[in-house]
Structure 1
């Protein structure tokens, strides 16, 4: 099975938390159906990406990265690589690389989808069709800033930094609900 096949499988099986998310899910699947290169950064103007919100072992704090290029607090994540086998593994790889934390455990089911504009590639506007997961850090985990970040910090789930956009807030809220075992719907992340 290819990464492209896995993305189709995951998105076909995923139950979206609301109608807006289900429309995004269908849009992602339509993109995958027409673009064999949909998982590659060279797919312009849009391509699928994978990210993961890193949560501490107590499920009380989230680790956000101050993205070096965008200068915004975001979850860890990014482009899929040719050796990624599944979306969940791509999200885990990105989270491990960007957090410096070994032993993360990723939930294999996506939490939410986010289609957002990015300064990526030669065609504008360009979008990341991000499939977002949650990953739990082992107890006592210590983060290490990567080259992709200006900063990396833990924040209480209910005290995110100033300027965090609604898509990150929604990811945090839905991840916290998932980890508490209360998968009730929340407002859609939609687009940013």
Structure 2
């Protein structure tokens, strides 16, 4: 399995991204350093950590956001996850994940990242690792109805000003970035 083209895309996407804050700028540099140090940074088999791609899915009117209750984490999260062998771009991986996990066809994704996050997690391999998560803004078509996948305990749209208290810490910041992104 080779993630060479996806790795190069990640370097270009993260490297050309203009962070909105000093904290996000610092994370951008950490992502670029990790990508420079690890040819396998796109593979979930990279035990020190790996890049993931997420989607902050907004309703067509941008009044609600779609969150999933993650079975292993036990908290409400944005949609997204690991890159796969067939992924050639980060934005493509984020859109694939959002479509698979929401069951919604016709999602529209902005190819410019909106937020970066690094968080510790124990993946299916059972090894503690880190996700270097690149988050994108996605808008669902009007009238979209989400269908829960096997990767979720629950899946629903939440008002953007009333997301659940047991949502992941990074959701609030990523949602704010999605709402101010034009």
Assess same fold via TM > 0.5.
Answer: yes
Distance in 2 separating the partners of 1:144 and 1:164: 19
Cross-structure match for 1:54: 57
* Unaligned stretches of 5+ residues in structure 2: none
Shift of 1:152: 0.3
Map Cα deviations across residues 62-115 of structure 1 (whole Å, 9 max, x no partner): 000001111110000000001111100000000000000010001100000010
State the TM-score, normalizing by the size of structure 2: 0.94
Q: Is the 8 A contact 1:45 1:123 kept in 2?
A: no
Q: Look up the match of 1:77.
A: 80
The Cα offsets for residues 51-70 of structure 1, whole Å up to 9 and x where unpaired, read as 00110101110000001111
Matched, 1:92 2:95: yes
Partner SS for 1:149: coil
In the alignment, what sits opposite 2:150? 147
1:123 deviates by: 4.2
Gaps of 5+ in 1: 182-192
Counterpart-to-counterpart distance in 2, 1:130 and 1:17: 16
The residue number in structure 2 matching 1:106 is 109
For 1:171-182, what aligned pairs fall within 5 Å after superposition? 171-178=174-181, 181=182
Match of 1:8 among 4, 7, 11: 11
**How many Å separate the matches in 2 of 1:76 and 1:103?**
15
Partner of 1:190: none
| 1:116 alignment partner, SS class | strand
Aligned to 1:135: 138
CA RMSD of aligned residues (A): 1.1
